[in-house]
């Protein structure tokens, strides 16, 4: 079974923000921990990112992106 993962570009697209903004969000203490650091960059479990975004969607809507 394969696991659904997201890299920074997918996170940015999912959140509707720039890659730079997504990178800033990924540095927050409450953002999920990446599951791996690959040559293409960090990757996260998609379910973890979706859950994080669902809890913070109202907060994120007011932030510049």
Q: What is the pLDDT of residue 58?
A: 67
Higher pLDDT, 32 or 3: 32
User: Could you report the per-residue pLDDT of 16-57, keeping only the tens digit for each?
Assistant: 999 999 999 999 999 999 999 999 899 999 999 999 999 987
Domains in the chain: ranges and CATH: 5-61 (1.10.1660)
Residue 26, both tokens: 């990924």
Query: If DSSP codes are grouped into helix, strand and coil, which group holds residue 8?
Result: helix
Kindly tell me if the per-residue pLDDT of 1 is higher than 70.
no
Q: Which tokens go with 56?
A: 């913070």
Banded pLDDT at 14 (limits 50, 70, 90): very high
DSSP 3-state assignment of 37? strand
Beta strands in 1-65 (DSSP E): 5-6, 36-38, 41-45
Residue 62, pLDDT score: 60
């Amino acid at each position: 079974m394969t696991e659904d993962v997201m890299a920074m570009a997918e996170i940015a697209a999912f959140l509707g923000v720039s890659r730079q903004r997504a990178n800033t969000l990924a540095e927050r203490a409450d953002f999920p921990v990446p599951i791996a650091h690959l040559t293409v960059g960090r990757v996260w479990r998609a379910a973890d990112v979706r859950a994080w975004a669902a809890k913070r969607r109202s907060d994120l809507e007011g932030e510049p992106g």
